[in-house]
Structure 1
Amino acid sequence: MELGRSRDELVTPPGTEGGGARDAWRRRTPLEKVLLAFSGVSVLACMALVGVIAAGGGGGGGASSSSPFSISPPRAAAPQMERNEHNESPKASIPLSPPVHLEGDPSEVKEATPSLKKNKKSSRLPVYHARTDEGAEFDVCSTQECILAAAAIVEAMDTTIDPCQNFYQFACGGWMDKNPLPEESSRWSQFDILDRELRNALSKILTEPVSQQDAKPVRQSKEFYAACMNEDLLESIGVTPLVNLFEEFGGWPMTVADWNENDFDWQFSVAEARRRQGADYLVSVWVFADQKNTDVTAIYVDQTSLGMARSVLTAPHNYEERIAAYKAYMAATASIMATSLGQDTSHIEAEVADVFDFEVALANITTPPEDRRDIERMYNPMTVLELSDLTAGSDLNWKQMLSTMFQSAGIPIDGSTRVIVQETGYLKKLADLLAATSPRTVANYIMWRHVKALGDETNRAMRDASFQYAMVVSGVMAAQPRWEECADKANNYLGMALGTKYVETYFSQQAKDEASVMVEDIRSAFEDLLDVNDWMDSETKPRAMEKAEAINKFIAYPDWYGNASALETFFSGLENIENRTHFINTESLRAWWSTDELAAFGKPTRRDRWFSSPTIVNAFYMPEFNSITFPAGILQPPFYRANSLQALNYGGIGQVIGHEITHGFDDEGRQNDKHGNAVPWWSNATLDAFKGRAQCIVDQYDNIRLPELDEVLPNATLNGVNTQGENIADNGGLREAVLAYQKYIDRNGEEPRLPGLEEYTPMQLLFLSNANVWCTSITTASLLNQVLTDPHSPGKFRVIVPMSNMEHFSSLWNCPVGSGMNPADKCVVW
């Protein structure tokens, strides 16, 4: 379960001039430059200005426009989203120092009166002093990081919007106006901005000369990148690597004239695709912790993946444009390959139609994701012999197919080998479907899936065909630059190696240390919510406490980083990566990762293993290991800021931490105990109470309409069932972050305010910081993709719904009951 999706200085991408401080300054916004200029003023000068600030103070406690730190938030043009204009400034109703409490709902912490004394102030950051019109003193943070944070928040806001009507628009309206979608992107968000910065940093590492001082995997990552960038060689080789691959399986029927079905064995093709590429065509097979005994590993057998979204394939009449683009993509790639072989292409269109019909039939025998949230239903252990009995009467030879898959791993498979089947009904239906389908159509389908997976690793013609499809299904207007593609590919395959250089060069130990402390704060906050929870009975609550205490944390990077031998051990067995043959490099890496996974079968699970590289902008909860992971890539602004207000960090990475902890107690994560084992540990009464509260969340999100999609999918709504786990985590994570920050204030004193945002208390800034994390611009096509396939709700609703479910938010911002952000009916799980 993942979150979904900075350094202060960006890194210059390959091929651009400049760098260092000069480039960093040029990339600043005008507001940032103004504020940074002010940061050069000495503390004494700031103190001398206090009288000016106080004397010209504006109404409602805000600072005067005559103050050098009083920056008026920009008035943005009305974006094409929900708006609610008001004649009065919404700030006028926001108290300077609102009462601090959490709502009285018994499922939450009850009255939480701050224990700090009135004059107790946090001394962690340098400040200058200011006063309200009434003479009340308050501090303003004067660090460069606070100034940059203030600039980012101010520029993101649209203060023409009442925060009580649409807090997302209030916090992000300016950001959306200033951040139109880049032509090569279908979505542009804070995650994507950090991805870009991370990609820039990695490209610097990847283009450094190969050095024998580097560990072998680091050298291999540079060689891989160099080969990927060698477009002249890619063009000269063309699609030959794909042709050679297909010849091993009897060829792609629609691209050759003399295809012979006797040379094709679909079971061998599927098994080899899994062994050599980790692919899951027709059936999925993988090795992971046994869900009922996570100390050991097991083989899982499941239904197939598909070439496009299941919901599109099962209702093709709703998505005619997408389906036409998909067929055109398949036909274009087949024509390129047939032409390279000097073959006729006139029959391709008819064969494409047959392949599509087969995939529709395949989609219709799969189980929809809404019905795949119950571990018990999907946990069906049996021997290979019993698996064969499951599909008796068909020509499926499970022993032979699995033996081929595990061949490289050196693991023998026999009739007594234990497997866990997740979708028994699918396997039975698959046998019937294959028996009723011609081998030619099945071969065409499997080879097409190879092309879809590997075509972009060949020449420009194949990449162009892929891009034409992407334009329709994601709304992008331009292809991603080649250097970005190659940096992403290197990171996908060799990110654990690149991470060592990234951490060494760009990452701050302070971020790792502070994030580790924050995890404990958020864990403590979740336990406080458990403590006052009145719907968990006395049998279940102590076990929930034990599970929360047992959550293992992985922060920034593995502890063995810095040890070259450990890195080489991690990539042991990876050979044949050199700077000339990109397609072969890709095959080698896919085969290595596949073998590495399959070879784990029969071995004890490693609970200390990182399952993601540090060089990604995301976070994870692993239910089988009851663990949370926060890679280095996400421990940057706006999620985490060193030397700035902790209010911003609790609203950013703090909410992310709470989100991942809460995943351990959502509708899926709750099924695993503190060791990660899927065994019953909730009483029936507690489970019934949870289901009622979870259903409230399901119904709440189910009823959110998306008028932006009316032209492509009339009356579209969010999928409350598929998104419920992430929605529960979003709601709980924000509550935990708020409570944890209050505990931080109790320990350390009230924090200062931000320059240019003095009218907002630190607790209000926490909510602004949290909203800022989810600011997003997105194409209609990409929004449709998200609704159809993504378990996460769109960014807008990751702000509006969790905040509108919190009485504390409504109290803090003085939102009347019935306003957009304070509905009468609220949903609370955690």
Structure 2
Amino acid sequence: MHAWSGEGGDIMGPTVTRTGSAKASTPPLKNGNDLRESGYLIAVGSRTARFRRKHKNKMLLIVLLFLLLLLLCLVIVMTVLYVKQKRHKPARVCETKECLRSAANLALSIDRTADPCHDFYQYSCGNWAEDHPRPDTYRSYDWFRDKQSKVYTVVRDFLTRNISGLPKPVAQAKDMFAACMDTDTLDKLGIKPVQEILELLDFPLVPTYVNITDDFDYDTYNFDWIEAVIKVKTKLRMDVLIGFEIFTDPRNSSVYRLVMGSPETTNPFPSMHNEKKRHVRTPQKSFKLSTREFDETFFSPHVKVSDNKKDDDDDEKMAQIYRLFYAELIKLFALESGNLKDNVNETELDLKLVKASTDYYSMYDDLYELEADNDTDTESESAYLNIPEYTVDEIQAHTDAVVENNNGTAVPIWKRYLEGIFNISDVTLDYENDKILVSNPDLKYMSLMAAFLSKVPPAKIELYIWVKVVEVMAAHTTSDLKQMFLRSYEEIHSTGKTVPVPRSLQCASAVNDLMGMAVSYAIADPYFFNVTKPKVQIMLHEMKNALAHLVGKAKWMDDDTKLATYQKIIQMKTLIGFPDWYLEDGRLEEYYQGIDLKPDTHLKNMVSVMQLKIKKALNKFREGNNYTWATDPTEVNAYHTFQENTITVPMVMLQHPFFDLGLDSLNYGSLGTVLGHEITHGFDNFGRKFDKNGNFLPWWSNETVESFINMTQCFVDQYSSFRLPELGEHIDGKKTLGENIADNGGVREALAAFKHHLRKTGPEEKLPGFEHMTSEQLFFLSYGNLWCGISTKESLKADLDDEHSPQQFRAKGALQNNEEFARAFHCPPGSPMNPHTRCIIF
């Protein structure tokens, strides 16, 4: 081959050799032809050889080109076959237990006969109720109540399990549960535990009003109602007549302030159902605020049931039920007290009881009217920004003037009340500098209440306070008393036979309500900090980035407001799962230091917890705000605390059915939208009023605020058009505005964060049984499934009074406004889920 490697057009031919002695034996030749013929001239390259060699070279090039072309064709064919194989290769299907569980839940919930572009809620939740029948103990049932019931089951089982080596507060929680479950002892004790508390409060065992005779001298009877409400507050943490709290300063979230007004915590004891109380003075939003199913007190704070009845006959019927109930309650204590006058026969006693219950109800009605005048819009700027502050002497001077103008006799109230409250604490008030926040409506209530009481006989005031206190405690005693409460409840609400929650779950709920941090030991996972929490933190980081990106694209915000918004997003704190200190040795004991619980004193145990809580609240007054948890790790909810610019996500929200669903599309569609909802609350129609430090101060430009308000009208109109056919009524789009904005923002942020997440991690696996669905479709399906539930007509009525839209409209409204949803499900323009007009803020 080397012979063909020369350069140029010609190549050397075969070599000719001659011997060294060869000589010429022929005559000289005459021309070149002769020389060639005789062999004297050696040809450098003959024409024939040259042609032959050129031909061979071209053939080789052709062969090489052909081989290259063949190789190229082979590569193309192989590439096409590879791509074709990839396209037809079965997609990877997730077969983990989390994916299988999620697939089963979605498959059982989905209604494949429904058109997702017509009614996505029906499509995603149409068969949910069939697989999750509503228990008789609930008026409505959904994923949140389903999860909460399971949490209480876990707590119940944990508290009954024989486990050694537990922290002392956890052992005490077990004692509290045991005392609650010991119904034999409770029935045997009867009302004695309540009587012991009445003695602790220096209250009579039976109201003096019942022992009143015709010649009773009201002028000589003395009942110090101020001292009475002080003891009720410090011993039971309960507000009667006066409301008092330690509250974060609206203008400076780093410090606490004294706040006074109408009664707020009117029943500190746990409910028979699993609902949390709502404190209207606390600027805090929850993801899913549930309506209380049943309460031991028939009158919920600031809600008069008869106001919902338009017919006067129904009003009177309900009032009669209440009066009869209170007469029975007072009679039970009167007969057990042994303090009745000897000359009082049963007929005379019944007449007195009827009069006492009637007068109590009448006084309640009068005080309710004063409180009703105090009702304010908790999202109005005047409710927080313009709260005046007063010295205690200034409040006294104001109320004295109102009392005297109403022909009453003014008495010192407010300084004495505060002194009595703080006597149990380590704090000494400075009455000149420790000013009190009192809103104008609250100051009006306090003044009119003082004027009203100045003309009420002391025995009647005693009756009112006595009944309020006994009512909330009696339900936690005997089985007969509990049945009496339940029977009256059924008559008032016309529910027929009400199925009570099983006692074990009632007690688990009660212990969780009172000692939530201790019972959270049942669900505390030591691997949480290394596994679950980092995942959630990544999701939160992506959600915040998504909101920042959406804010950057918003044309209605000026640059300065955008910059301030970015800063608030950056400084937004998150409390995830349970406190970082929770599993540290000795910290739980420190948290519950001073509590005294026993396995056979149910009511005393609850009172002991109340006393610990009120003392801790008072002692924190001089401390700086340390941004504590807004709820317990066992509560199925999530919160945004405006004045702390903090999101709280309890541990149970990081479990199925909200998280740990197998695929990121499902996790982002469920928990991701929950987190986005809470993040968006910081910038909704109310949250936007709190700056990055949680202070209630203007930080948006006037132009931006005006643009924002104009844009919110779209949401008001959209949600006001939603109608509940069962009731024939529409949603209040204005009342639900903040939550609707949060829902819409949450979905948009979660979807943007999910897409960003996919770009980093690559395509995800398919869900079994849903291989035909894209990741985006699964995201939206997960969001729709989050709101699956079933409600009775009574529950739907309660939903209309809530600041959250009914669940089907929380799914429908947010997705109607999402163009990417319409693209994902190929919804034609103008279809119900792809309207021509969309409401978008972020």
Q: Note if contact 1:199-1:488 (Cα within 8 Å) is conserved in structure 2.
A: yes
Q: Note if contact 1:254-1:334 (Cα within 8 Å) is conserved in structure 2.
A: no
- Structure 1 residue ranges without an equivalent (≥5): 1-129, 710-714
- 2:756 counterpart letter in structure 1: K
Rounded Cα–Cα distance in structure 1 between residues aligned with 2:646 and 2:479: 42
CA offset digits 1:365-399 (Å, max 9, x no partner): 22244665644455222222222233123335101
Q: Note if contact 2:109-2:128 (Cα within 8 Å) is conserved in structure 1.
A: yes
CA deviation after TM superposition for structure 1 residue 665, in Å: 0.9
1:533-544 correspondence runs (5 A) = 533-544=554-565
Q: Note if contact 2:371-2:445 (Cα within 8 Å) is conserved in structure 1.
A: no
- For residue 666 of structure 2, the aligned residue among 642, 648, 667 is 648
Q: Residue 225 of structure 1 corresponds to which residue in structure 2?
A: 177
Q: Note if contact 1:474-1:782 (Cα within 8 Å) is conserved in structure 2.
A: no
Q: Note if contact 2:577-2:652 (Cα within 8 Å) is conserved in structure 1.
A: yes
The answer to whether residue 482 in structure 2 is matched with residue 463 in structure 1 is yes
1:376-525 correspondence runs (5 A) = 376-377=384-385, 379-393=387-401, 394=403, 395=411, 397-413=413-429, 415-416=431-432, 417-422=434-439, 423-435=442-454, 437-471=456-490, 473=493, 477-504=498-525, 510-525=531-546
- For residue 145 of structure 2, the aligned residue among 186, 192, 196 is 192
Q: Note if contact 1:255-1:337 (Cα within 8 Å) is conserved in structure 2.
A: no
Q: Note if contact 1:702-1:720 (Cα within 8 Å) is conserved in structure 2.
A: yes
Q: Residue 684 of structure 1 corresponds to which residue in structure 2?
A: 702
Rounded Cα–Cα distance in structure 2 between residues aligned with 1:180 and 1:359: 42
CA deviation after TM superposition for structure 1 residue 651, in Å: 0.7
The answer to whether residue 130 in structure 2 is matched with residue 174 in structure 1 is no
The answer to whether residue 186 in structure 2 is matched with residue 234 in structure 1 is yes
CA offset digits 1:496-534 (Å, max 9, x no partner): 112234214896853222112111111111111111111
Rounded Cα–Cα distance in structure 1 between residues aligned with 2:328 and 2:770: 55
Rounded Cα–Cα distance in structure 2 between residues aligned with 1:308 and 1:477: 19
- For residue 705 of structure 1, the aligned residue among 717, 720, 723 is 723
Rounded Cα–Cα distance in structure 2 between residues aligned with 1:670 and 1:376: 13
Q: Secondary structure at the match of 1:601?
A: helix
Larger radius of gyration: 2
Rounded Cα–Cα distance in structure 2 between residues aligned with 1:406 and 1:207: 38
Rounded Cα–Cα distance in structure 2 between residues aligned with 1:671 and 1:660: 15
Q: Secondary structure at the match of 1:822?
A: coil
Q: Could you tell me the percent identity over the aligned residues? A: 31
Q: Note if contact 2:367-2:449 (Cα within 8 Å) is conserved in structure 1.
A: no
Rounded Cα–Cα distance in structure 2 between residues aligned with 1:172 and 1:686: 39
Cα pair distance change 1:290/1:182, threshold 3 Å? same
Taking structure 1 as the reference length, the TM-score comes to 0.78
Cα pair distance change 1:292/1:508, threshold 3 Å? closer
The answer to whether residue 621 in structure 2 is matched with residue 601 in structure 1 is yes
Q: Residue 611 of structure 1 corresponds to which residue in structure 2?
A: 630
Q: Residue 657 of structure 1 corresponds to which residue in structure 2?
A: 675
Rounded Cα–Cα distance in structure 2 between residues aligned with 1:249 and 1:764: 64
Q: Residue 13 of structure 1 corresponds to which residue in structure 2?
A: none
Rounded Cα–Cα distance in structure 1 between residues aligned with 2:378 and 2:695: 22
Cα pair distance change 1:479/1:379, threshold 3 Å? same
The answer to whether residue 832 in structure 2 is matched with residue 820 in structure 1 is yes
Cα pair distance change 1:829/1:330, threshold 3 Å? farther
Cα pair distance change 1:267/1:697, threshold 3 Å? farther
| Greater displacement, 793-802 / 329-338 | 329-338
Q: Residue 786 of structure 2 corresponds to which residue in structure 1?
A: 773
Rounded Cα–Cα distance in structure 1 between residues aligned with 2:527 and 2:484: 37
Q: Residue 719 of structure 1 corresponds to which residue in structure 2?
A: 732
Rounded Cα–Cα distance in structure 1 between residues aligned with 2:558 and 2:527: 48
Q: Note if contact 1:705-1:718 (Cα within 8 Å) is conserved in structure 2.
A: yes
- What is the root-mean-square deviation of aligned Cα atoms in Å? 2.9
Q: Residue 156 of structure 2 corresponds to which residue in structure 1?
A: 203
Rounded Cα–Cα distance in structure 2 between residues aligned with 1:439 and 1:136: 86
Q: Note if contact 1:249-1:265 (Cα within 8 Å) is conserved in structure 2.
A: no
Q: Secondary structure at the match of 1:628?
A: strand
CA deviation after TM superposition for structure 1 residue 425, in Å: 3.0
- 1:284 counterpart letter in structure 2: G
CA offset digits 1:277-312 (Å, max 9, x no partner): 222223321113212111111111132247336454
Q: Residue 527 of structure 1 corresponds to which residue in structure 2?
A: 548
CA deviation after TM superposition for structure 1 residue 316, in Å: 5.0
Q: Residue 340 of structure 1 corresponds to which residue in structure 2?
A: 336
CA deviation after TM superposition for structure 1 residue 179, in Å: 2.0
Q: Secondary structure at the match of 2:424?
A: coil
Taking structure 2 as the reference length, the TM-score comes to 0.77
CA deviation after TM superposition for structure 1 residue 750, in Å: 2.0
Q: Residue 809 of structure 2 corresponds to which residue in structure 1?
A: 797
Rounded Cα–Cα distance in structure 1 between residues aligned with 2:704 and 2:828: 33
Cα pair distance change 1:381/1:242, threshold 3 Å? same
CA deviation after TM superposition for structure 1 residue 404, in Å: 1.5
Q: Residue 42 of structure 2 corresponds to which residue in structure 1?
A: none
Cα pair distance change 1:596/1:742, threshold 3 Å? same
Q: Residue 583 of structure 2 corresponds to which residue in structure 1?
A: 562
How many residue pairs end up in the alignment? Answer: 692
CA offset digits 1:176-231 (Å, max 9, x no partner): 122221111222111111112211211122112364x2221111101111111111
The answer to whether residue 598 in structure 2 is matched with residue 582 in structure 1 is no
CA deviation after TM superposition for structure 1 residue 766, in Å: 1.0
| Greater displacement, 792-801 / 423-432 | 423-432
CA offset digits 1:706-750 (Å, max 9, x no partner): 3323xxxxx543333332222221111111111111111121122
Rounded Cα–Cα distance in structure 2 between residues aligned with 1:469 and 1:491: 27
- 2:359 counterpart letter in structure 1: E
- For residue 771 of structure 2, the aligned residue among 750, 754, 758 is 758
CA offset digits 1:18-47 (Å, max 9, x no partner): xxxxxxxxxxxxxxxxxxxxxxxxxxxxxx
Cα pair distance change 1:391/1:355, threshold 3 Å? closer
Q: Secondary structure at the match of 1:503?
A: coil
Cα pair distance change 1:452/1:162, threshold 3 Å? farther
- 1:278 counterpart letter in structure 2: R
Rounded Cα–Cα distance in structure 1 between residues aligned with 2:564 and 2:185: 60
Q: Residue 351 of structure 1 corresponds to which residue in structure 2?
A: 359
Cα pair distance change 1:498/1:431, threshold 3 Å? same
Cα pair distance change 1:740/1:450, threshold 3 Å? same
Q: Note if contact 2:376-2:383 (Cα within 8 Å) is conserved in structure 1.
A: no
CA offset digits 1:419-452 (Å, max 9, x no partner): 1113333333333443455545544433333234
CA deviation after TM superposition for structure 1 residue 539, in Å: 1.5
- 1:272 counterpart letter in structure 2: K
Q: Secondary structure at the match of 1:286?
A: strand
- 1:692 counterpart letter in structure 2: N
Rounded Cα–Cα distance in structure 2 between residues aligned with 1:694 and 1:427: 36
Q: Residue 294 of structure 1 corresponds to which residue in structure 2?
A: 253
Q: Note if contact 1:399-1:414 (Cα within 8 Å) is conserved in structure 2.
A: no
Rounded Cα–Cα distance in structure 1 between residues aligned with 2:388 and 2:519: 39
Q: Note if contact 1:331-1:352 (Cα within 8 Å) is conserved in structure 2.
A: no
- 1:308 counterpart letter in structure 2: S
CA offset digits 1:133-162 (Å, max 9, x no partner): 995863322222111110000101112221
Cα pair distance change 1:638/1:804, threshold 3 Å? same
| Greater displacement, 334-343 / 675-684 | 334-343
The answer to whether residue 547 in structure 2 is matched with residue 551 in structure 1 is no
Rounded Cα–Cα distance in structure 2 between residues aligned with 1:824 and 1:473: 43
